[in-house]
Structure 1
């Protein structure tokens, strides 16, 4: 497969970055929301740098979507990311799991001079920020959809007497230093599907699963689509085994175009959709011990 650079940096992201540099002057706590499946690729260091300039701001990292990630890997990432300045909380914001712990962590920074803790919620697109805020608020005050780019402006919301939050649009950065970051973000749904080639991303997703020494993740995918170990091993002799696997899955699932040929693009989109929804199993794409 030929590789192509994936980038998505619409105008509202540039505007948000500029406005955020001013807004942080009013912030007491920064909550950085990461995708538990890709804790490194989902970290926007442009945002981290803005917060780093304000040493008085307290830090919390939320590993969200833990229901879709390998629980053992999530625990390893918590150990890796936690330090004396940063508390790490695992969360499934869609079900409200971890919200109580987050509220308590935010309120722990409430001193005698602060009546309301002003809290910045930041992260990449489609990482669950709006859903998290709705869970904090106990009601649906923000539109939350399972697609990137829904929130487009900064806005303050009162959660309760002790917490107000600054919701921010999901922000990426102008150019990914490593093309694999683009593939990770595309696979998990942080980038609009219209921006990238789904066949190429599905190919890279399968290649990633097969790259691990422990084969449990690639085996989950094979089992999900009814591919035997023998069938997969036979494909290894092909010039492009991961592309051949996509074609085989398309045939098995009757994803065919006119003439009975496998529909590689329909299959690729199904592979990505199933992974994002957790139907392939709880798979973390970035392993803590590989870093």
Structure 2
């Protein structure tokens, strides 16, 4: 299964981001904490250039906490200020302005020396589809202004939003990139909901998810689907068939596949991180 998704509005949004980057002080880059590297658009380094950046590992409640700590350290070592947040429940979002001020400390002090009056920090929020940008905007602004949806491609245009007196936010549509060099990136993004389901084959995606959990979280699979440790060594397609029968779906593997994908996405198999810290070198090669 090869997954590609680059609608026309994304190409337009990329151009607009490039044009408006000069108007902001800092970039808030949202990534999915379950795949901190695979959910980063490799074009963003070129677009953002030397702007200060705050990397926000969103959906931290769904990610493996030990893995998230390692990835936070990774980004900090790269020179990025970093927070683990859950915009859905407002966890960690109250630290964003403070962390942004730390990232802009030199600029703030320079402006003060020049006698400039303090003004609100101007930030651009970027990230791939369905990473939680609009939800974060609404949390920071304190009311529902940015349109949200648990599916990619909801935000189509750019808009400025005010967050109190200290922060002004430029929301942008989620932007993927034209081609995934490694098909595993497409599968990881699809499994977490960053790509429209209409473009997917759920059986391939379910098998990908089963193989991942059998390797890194085998107990979760055994407990959730009442399969034995020996069952995990079955060929993936046979394991899918077994789970389908145990759930009463008989030979309806499409229904079983969609169920598995949705349960992984919703966290019913527990917290997980698809980008494994211990496989950093391989992941960087993929990206």
TM over 0.5: yes
| Aligned counterpart, 2:128 | 124
Q: Secondary structure at the match of 2:227?
A: coil
Which of 199, 202, 205 matches 1:198? 202
Which of 29, 32, 35 matches 2:32? 35
Which of 65, 70, 74 matches 1:80? 74
C-alpha RMSD over aligned residues = 1.4
| Aligned counterpart, 2:283 | none
2: CA distance, partners of 1:95 / 1:6 = 31
Matched, 1:8 2:5: yes
Matched, 1:268 2:262: no
| Aligned counterpart, 2:191 | 187
2: CA distance, partners of 1:39 / 1:25 = 26
Relative to 1, partners in 2 of residues 1:84 and 1:207: Cα closer, same or farther, differing over 3 Å? closer
| Aligned counterpart, 2:241 | 247
2: CA distance, partners of 1:147 / 1:51 = 25
Structure 1 contact 209–285 (Cα < 8 Å) conserved: no
| Aligned counterpart, 1:155 | 159
String of CA shifts for 1:219-264, please: whole Å, max 9, x gaps.
212211111213334x2xxxxx1111111111011123xxxxx211
TM-aligned CA deviation for residue 210 of structure 1: 3.2
Could you tell me the TM-score, scaled by structure 2's length?
Answer: 0.90
Structure 2 contact 31–56 (Cα < 8 Å) conserved: yes
Q: Which runs of 4+ in 1 moved over 6 A?
A: none
Structure 1 contact 103–136 (Cα < 8 Å) conserved: no
Q: How many aligned positions are there?
A: 270
Q: Secondary structure at the match of 1:181?
A: helix
Which of 146, 150, 154 matches 1:146? 150
1: CA distance, partners of 2:174 / 2:193 = 12
| Aligned counterpart, 1:259 | none
Could you tell me the TM-score, scaled by structure 1's length?
Answer: 0.89
| Aligned counterpart, 2:284 | none
Structure 1 segments unaligned to the other structure (5+ residues): 236-240, 257-261
Structure 2 segments unaligned to the other structure (5+ residues): 281-287
String of CA shifts for 1:99-136, please: whole Å, max 9, x gaps.
11112112342723451211011000000011111111
TM-aligned CA deviation for residue 270 of structure 1: 0.7
- Could you say which structure has the higher helix fraction? 2
